[in-house]
Structure 1
């Protein structure tokens, strides 16, 4: 009986103990969840900002830097971005001079902008050299590129808030710039709106032609590819009056997601504030309007994504601190992310029947209904969890007291020995023959070994992968034979053995992979030493082989597997091949993968379009300034449905050689169009078509083809102008001279296209046998401005002195036309007069009398 009672008490004690432990555990979980929800919902967690002290050497003297803000303080992001920079710099004893461009009211190239540049130049001259310059947003970056050499020679530059990735990447190639580019927030906001409106079948994007607007559209175009089946309509505010903009917006259907990307100006050049544009567009639109960047929420916009400008300003300041401490901008990689957040207006969402339950996690919501379920959840749920925690904690204390009051006497329990059985025997796995994992030529690991290694836990220790490729190895084999070429491979591997690395693998042909357990950044000693080793010629027996190599570097990014790193290096090595030449080093980033995927898709589209000759040919009028009449047209090729812009698919076509076929199709269609106009008794004007350098490298019969098409359609040769680029003259000079002489002798006019985009000097260009020199838009934007047009005037005077006409491309403003007239330019081409037109509209086009 006593034994039974003792056993019962022991069981009861164990039950009390288990319940008490359970209650305490539940109390802890409820308390932690409640406190976490309060912190998450009300933002009590602070962001650590102690960044400057660890970066600045205490011996570094106090420095002065210049902060150039694209917009004035009335723009929502400007004060926050500025304060982020100042916060870091003040802790670092660095003085910051802040200047504001006010790009909305003083756009690039305007009189107000030129006056601002002049005033800043005087200020810089009085101050003296700055230790560094920080540029905020796209307009400030454009300003710096145009004025760095004259106003800030040899001064390092850090930029942030840049929308256009390609522009940012180009800026870093200067060697004196580095910084941060904003990415992915457009696509993230598009995903968020699609969840809010799952029935939507199309997007409408309101855009403009400001630098920021161009960058935002590029991001929108890129993100759109993730929305299969969704169509898009663009409304360009820069080409419409405000009334036309309202009418276009009012016509959107209920199944459309409307994005206000940018609408800062109208067709007359009038500038509008964001608040004005938001009120105007949301008032006219029958659908909710969203934005991809901050601003407008609370004024009618339903929601927007935003990048934390203060945090980005701090990070840009950290980069500048690195520069002040002696790190060259070229050694600092372009930063490609930002701190993303969302904000929505519940009142606007409710007006359109949209629920806040579908918003991204962590979204801020304004104009809440404080008696709504969402609002109550912010307070009620954490409070309930804390109340439950208190309840279970008190209950556990009470159980503890009960257990103590009923504590049983100690009970002796006999212990019985337990025999633990031996684990079952596992036979050893047979050893795999090691030669399977060895390269027969070099004796090092092969790709089969790397594939096995990639699946092992040791692969997690690899932080960087470098792929090395010997350029034109097939030519070396052809010249020296297989035995000597394999000797070259063995010698190269022996040299790379001297590197501190985790492994060395020979891939196919003349490619190698090296794994490193530390990152391999730009300018690292690993890359420098590897380049030095691979630059030295190799002597095998009596043969001395000089060879080039290219390298691709992939540093492990968050979430990357070893297989991802191998694929990344393959993407980067292909990029290095596109650059051509030897001794090039390319670092992988995600944009390469996207570019490669786009290139594959474009190649497939081009293959179909070439097979079916299914391109759209537009004709942009070229205007004779003296006669104010059409002097000719440029034939411009487009893909049907504008799936990819010309700059993108033409580049791919040039890389894969399809440009040769495209040139033929454009030439044929242009000549046939002239024949059609001739039969209809329309006025004929010369048509300019592009002539790629690839025709020379392929030794094709384009000249014969062109002349036969002209003869078959009975069109005189002087109605065709062939446009060549400066790169044309880097080919075989005898072949170039022969081709050009034959074209000119048969009456075809030759024009030099894109002058100013390359590196040729005026005298080099003027020595080639061309009748026209076409000034590139980049050159126009830089030099065709008041106070900076001396180079432009010299070029025009030199061209005219040698009997060549000057065609100015990309003219979009009236004041540019006036400067062209003052400088006696012959022909202009650009949106000021006309965009590219269909054949029917082109032949009927006449410039207005007051143009």
Structure 2
């Protein structure tokens, strides 16, 4: 009896203490929440419900531009609390810059203003919008007040402020402060590479960078205008930045293809393809791979502009408000990147914001520890007050039952996940193939359709992966709804490919079913401020009582690719002609393989004639196949696509070296022979060693071998290309630039690339060796001679062309006027004096 009373007393004490601990825990939690709420009070809570004014935010760019999020937050916090609402219109001038784009936008804007709301003021964001307002603002809005921000063109900003109804904020940069801090934290780095583009901000950044660095002694700097490069070329440029240099990441988002990359894309380019520290002269991007930045606060400038507009709307004289030339800056550095380069917080200004800085356990959980401790004590006391045997028995039974139910749910969930695409939540490729093997049987009527989204890569590059993912989800959702109503099988077959089985139906290219599917892709898709219009290419394989399910999939895919090749945005039925086309290509491949293994290639040689003496001075070696009908235009593209060109390159090289030895042994005088080299042969890292061994084996001097490459190989500037040129030079082999005039065609790079001879392409001869234009050919020849290089003119077919080129002092002529490519026996005794 005493023992029972003791346990009853203890249980009561534990229960009382646990309740006290829980009450104290709740009090501590309430205090923590109140303090946190005070620290994070949202200015939007001060929003005034009585709307007194309405203004228009007029932006040069679109809502995806990297400054927009901070700016709109500044406008929100300054306008809403003062009873001012706003609408936003985007010019999207970063993507649409032509005069036609501007005219179209003007018509759209005027129409919108006539039929839309009336505004008490306009806030203008960035230079293009400010220029537009200077040109048309008075005509559209009259004399309502205009406040601008983000103006990089100081001349334009000052000119705008001469009008009595305009004032604003110049977008000052902190490039000089950024460079000063960078020199402080990296005293041993002297190489600076600045990236900018052709936008107003970019050109200002580039000019400022050049001026500042030019004033410094002991430093080497380089400017990179990204507008001069495509995405792929820019990546190669970034790869060339030395690891001991410093990248100055300025305004540089628009490339040579007219694509305006997002901040995240550009940051990722620098982070992924360079090991040099990245420093930015604008706020943001720190935390994504950029070391640090000192930049104007976009939020603060927008907030200041909003407050200025409020003052003007409340009666202040805008003509007495002068343009602001300074906005406070924000200094941010990434702790993780700082650690990589050995930078400590002491090396940075006191006001620096450190991102990704590790926090201690107390920093994270300190405020909740008292409550957690009290709750823990309460739980212990509660557990002590519960009968252990009853508790554990009942708890064990409950847990066993819950585990069984959870196991069953997990099994169903795993089966579902194994059968469905994680992203689109429709059947995946493996499940679809298994489904077709079960249902696409010979005695049934059905259609197998492969659908591929046209130009889906462009959506990724233009709008970003997030928008592209939403587009893919939208299309999948619409297809799924249609498939459910018709009892079709729908699956994701690839990245942007769908596979469908239509039971009981044999469709045609023009059937209503196909048009329904096409309509899903053709309907405009609204994504925020953007409207995206897509299309698709479809391949169809119909049941025939013979073809297997796996072959149906292959046939539908072949038909889909045929639809793409014929212009996209259409459906195509598989036919035996397509199979024939594939078979013909396979026959060519088989003949190429047989030729490579069984001496199936031979060489012809086109003579090259000295223009002045009309004497033979060399040959170009051209490969041919012995098999009937296998012309170079047939087998070379397939060899390139199949990755066999490197092996063919070795075969042709060996044939040429053997032929030189045969001519020598027959007592003929040798002339240099040029061998064509494909850029795809760069993967053959042992080619030069192979060539060297052949020269030694047949005792042929390198002076009789020339290598022809296209200009694109010179421009790549890869380590493999540079190594190739150096090794060839070491063997005494001359390097020829083939097809000059068909690619980048810049004489500027001829000053530094290791080329000995330039071959002018036939297309330039045909286009410019005519009356009124032939001075261009003469000037090109002269410039090449001034660079101490020889000039070969290809494609000369007429006597007057030869005479004109001789007058222009071209060095060597090659073309049908003298001779087509001929056999080795004819070539070595060729005499052009009779021509």
Give the structure-2-normalised TM-score. 0.39
TM-score between the two structures when normalised by the length of structure 1: 0.38
Larger Cα-atom Rg: 2
